[in-house]
Amino acid sequence: PPPFFLFLGCVEDVGQNRAEATLPRLAELNAYVAVSSTRQPLSQDLLAPFQVVVLTNSSLEEQLWVGDFCHSHGIKLVVADTRGLFGQLFCDFGDDMVVTDTNGEQPLSAMVSMVTKGCPGEVTCLDEARHGFETGDFVTFTEVEGMEELNGCGPVEIRVLGPYTFSIGDTSGFGDYVRGGIVTQVKMPKHIRFKRLREALAEPELMITDFGKAERPPIMHWGWQALHRFIRQHGRPPRPRHQGDAAEVVALTREVAPGAELDQDLLRELAFQATGDLAPVNAFIGGLAAQEVMKAVSGKFTPITQWLYFDALECLPEENKETVLSEEQCRPRNSRYDGQIAVFGAELQAKLGAQKYFVVGAGAIGCELLKNFAMVGLGCGPEGCVTVTDMDTIEKSNLNRQFLFRPWDVTKLKSERAAAAVREMNPALQVSSRPDRVGPDTERVYDDDFFEALDGVANALDNVDARLYMDRRCVYYRKPLLESGTLGTKGNVQVVIPFLSESYSSSQDPPEKAIPICTLKNFPNAIEHTLQWARDEFEGLFKQPAENVNQYLTWVSGGAGGWIGPLRVLEGVWGVGSSPWGGRGGKTNSGTLFWSGPKRCPHPLVFDPDNPLHLDYVMAAANLFAQSYGIGGSRDRGAVAELLRHVRVPPFAPKAGVRIHVSDQELQSTTTALDDGRLEELKASLPSPEELPGFRMFPIDFEKDDDTNFHMDFIVAASNLRAENYDIPPADRHKSKLIAGKIIPAIATTTGAVVGLACLELYKLVQGHRRLGSYKNAFLNLALPFVGFSEPLACPRNKYYEVEWTLWDRFEVQGLQPDGQEMTLRQFLAYFKKEHRLEITMLSQGVSMLYSFFMPAAKLRERHDQPMTEIVARVSKKKVGRHVKALVFELCCNDDTDADIEVPYVRYTIR
């Protein structure tokens, strides 16, 4: 297939024109996009109407005349090509390409604490967080008191002086700074000049993707031109692994770049793979090319300037390459996999077909993985299989990036529809689907037999907890793991190789910084704060009280202490919190202004039934309260507004003597416990459960995607009303939904590129590469653009006595003795003393403590002669399931000198 377009062809399409076979499947992806095909040869009349032209699999002569025409007529040009494990990309977006947003990041902002008068004036920001600006950035100011000339002035260029300071030019004629102010980054248009292809061919600007191979792009640039010359002279590309053709390509490269120092081995590989066609490389280059098209038409994100060359030669065999990849092994076989056989030979194709893989998740990444697996033939042999699981159903919003799904698949299971789609692409694919969430609850399904039969796992998950769980399973069963993820234009790939690399769990990102409670409660200063407050209000009004009531109605009192749980919550609901309302001039004990810096002084709102935002809040809250009580609501805004006109809302009056907590520590230190008297008072004021037979409430779980359930209506109205209290600019429904719903940005281009790189690692795993340096973890940000690679980190090594071990090692203990009896605790302890010179001081299984040296003597005597599984069942109060072949024990041990030492875990086999 051409590398830019995804050729959604099936077996029945063989022999058809590629554009015509692709067209109906491409049109299915989005009914709002008009697509058409033509068999006309390229001409100026054909190109003239278009904004962007993308050339794939084209000759250099065609590229040059198209490049000249497009450049002179203001048409953007992208050239994309792949040859086996090699990729090429070129962009020409004209003499003056205007980029409106270079990186796609939200503009930075910071709160001002001081501005000096001078030339230049210096701005100091609050030291709660670094401002993050860079020299050359442009900023604007709002809410500055005193030096008000700054407010509303045009964007000002800055020079960074430190993490909290920067200069802004001449402020000597401005008023004296008093307080306040917010400084916000402004994204300024950036102008980029592109050379036309003919000029760029002679004077190339090269984007480096792998700094470990920084010398290769110039050689590939010349080699690709030599390849075009070879094809023009012979009417065909070089044959796979043909030594004579490869030597001629090297000679032609010398003609293209006379006097240049050439890497002949690299050029020979380019020639050997000229007929190669690999789905993962197509996906990577195609994803990048598609993103460049989006940049060309939108002006958003920085384009590639101008050439990008890529190779993944680490995918070739580590040893005996000349023997494994002979001309005979790589010759065409009239197979759908000939493009792959040309690169890797027929033996690897057979290995790919025999693989058994588990794909966890059938969302955006899962769809791309399955597509690539079908294309490369993974699990397509009689012994192979691919299992995909996902418990989610397809939503309409999935259709922009989970391309295996169609509008008629909405509400159906993702795993089932994804499996059906790739089965149509490649009927030989042995794919089965399941609707199960991976986790401890499904270990009867994904048991020892299931994992032991696998060759590897590919994660396509959207949360860290599930990733950590699957990582632990892969380490335990010693299976390789392909881990990948995306966030908008950003993506990453991590490959986990048993006994070689660290695991996913070995290093984690720092946790997201939480918004302090006192900020949410008393001092919001950004829309994110009011949205989080609104989400908390939703839980506190429509979910938690109903859950507490239902819990109370089924509660069995065990004395005053037995009531503490629900009564504490009820006391909190009924209690009156502190009020932050106060005058602007209030001061702290030290004499400084209280409402300053990040603390914005609030003002009350006057209820107005004719204000649409006020009515939105009442409509949403009333209907949600009705739902939680199981009664009908009303969608008649006019009737509700008329009713509210007769409701008297008393004017707001702040409470006197209220202490406002300025930090979470202060808030926690003043939390008072409920005394027994208050508990009894609350208990007496509530009707007993017996007085409310059959009554229950209906807790509401927040659901952002249903526009008819009033959930987002409440969030938007509550957040924007609170924002108005604190003079914070409001957010529209779309922005509110993104923030409150914690929607992770996702685009198909990044997904395609990331999964392409992940599947390149698959080639290495299937071949059994044993050099850590052969593998690549990848990081990319298509907005910048940036693509980088690093070698996976080796697994850390530990030692006890002279025994070296890693996270992949463990003690293997056979629980059943030769006489058929299971090992007792006494025998288990003695075994480690004798075989490993280790004194076990503590022994646990999961959260259950099975043995410790400080246990009471009576309990130790009782357990010493019990079988290990019996102890586990008694302590955990759970029977060991019949599906469990082995138990995992964690040990604390002393060595011969009574020193604590770290040792691996124990795999205790019982079946």
CA distance 21 to 619: 52
Written as six digits, the tokens of 383 are: 């012994």
Pick from 151, 135, 141: nearest CA to 111: 141
CA distance 498 to 806: 10
Which parts of the chain have pLDDT scores under 50?
1-9, 556-564, 566, 569-570, 572-579
Sequence-distant (≥ 6) Cβ neighbours of residue 679 within 8 angstroms: 560, 563, 564, 567
- How high is the pLDDT of residue 308? 98
CA angle 377, 383, 388 (to 5 degrees): 65
In contact, 229 and 249? CB cutoff 8 Å: no
Written as six digits, the tokens of 405 are: 């799904």
- How high is the pLDDT of residue 231? 98
CA distance 208 to 219: 13
CA distance 385 to 456: 11
Selected catalytic residue, list 70, 315, 474, 518:
518
Residue with tokens 């939200």: 106
Pick from 366, 224, 337: nearest CA to 278: 337
Pick from 661, 106, 746: nearest CA to 367: 746
Written as six digits, the tokens of 895 are: 């060595």
- How high is the pLDDT of residue 570? 47
Specify which residues 387 forms β-bridges with. 358, 432
Phi, psi values for residue 357, rounded to 5°: -125, 150
- How high is the pLDDT of residue 624? 97
CA distance 740 to 69: 48
In contact, 852 and 895? CB cutoff 8 Å: no
- How high is the pLDDT of residue 585? 60
- How high is the pLDDT of residue 689? 81
- How high is the pLDDT of residue 569? 47
Question: At residue 735, what is the residue type?
Answer: K
CA distance 601 to 614: 21
- How high is the pLDDT of residue 679? 67
Buried b / exposed e along 273-284 (16+ C-beta atoms within 10 A): bbbbbbbbbbbb
> Half-sphere exposure (CA, 13 Å, Cβ side) for 851?
26
* Chain-centre distance for alpha carbon 794: 24
- How high is the pLDDT of residue 684? 76
In contact, 580 and 654? CB cutoff 8 Å: no
Phi, psi values for residue 660, rounded to 5°: -95, 125
Helix, strand counts (H, E) of the chain? 29, 30
Written as six digits, the tokens of 653 are: 């009056």
- How high is the pLDDT of residue 3? 35
Residue with tokens 């109407």: 49
* Chain-centre distance for alpha carbon 41: 42
Written as six digits, the tokens of 672 are: 């008072």
Catalytic-residue membership of 795: no
CA distances from 594 to 565, 598, 757 (A): 37, 10, 54
Pick from 238, 233, 121, 260: nearest CA to 183: 121
Sequence-distant (≥ 6) Cβ neighbours of residue 798 within 8 angstroms: 804, 805, 806, 902
Sequence-distant (≥ 6) Cβ neighbours of residue 77 within 8 angstroms: 52, 53, 54, 55, 66, 67, 70, 71, 90, 91, 92, 93, 197
CA distances from 93 to 298, 308, 599, 708, 903 (A): 12, 15, 47, 44, 59
Residue 709, classed as helix, strand or coil, is coil
Pick from 767, 750, 778: nearest CA to 283: 750
Sequence-distant (≥ 6) Cβ neighbours of residue 633 within 8 angstroms: 622, 623, 626, 627, 710
- How high is the pLDDT of residue 8? 43
Pick from 316, 317, 354, 369: nearest CA to 455: 354
Q: Is the bond preceding residue 604 a cis peptide, omega within 30 degrees? A: no
Q: Is the bond preceding residue 785 a cis peptide, omega within 30 degrees? A: yes
* Chain-centre distance for alpha carbon 402: 15
pTM for the predicted model, two decimal places: 0.89
CA distance 637 to 623: 12
- How high is the pLDDT of residue 681? 76
CA angle 139, 143, 147 (to 5 degrees): 80
Pick from 462, 459, 463, 456: nearest CA to 477: 456
CA distance 552 to 563: 9
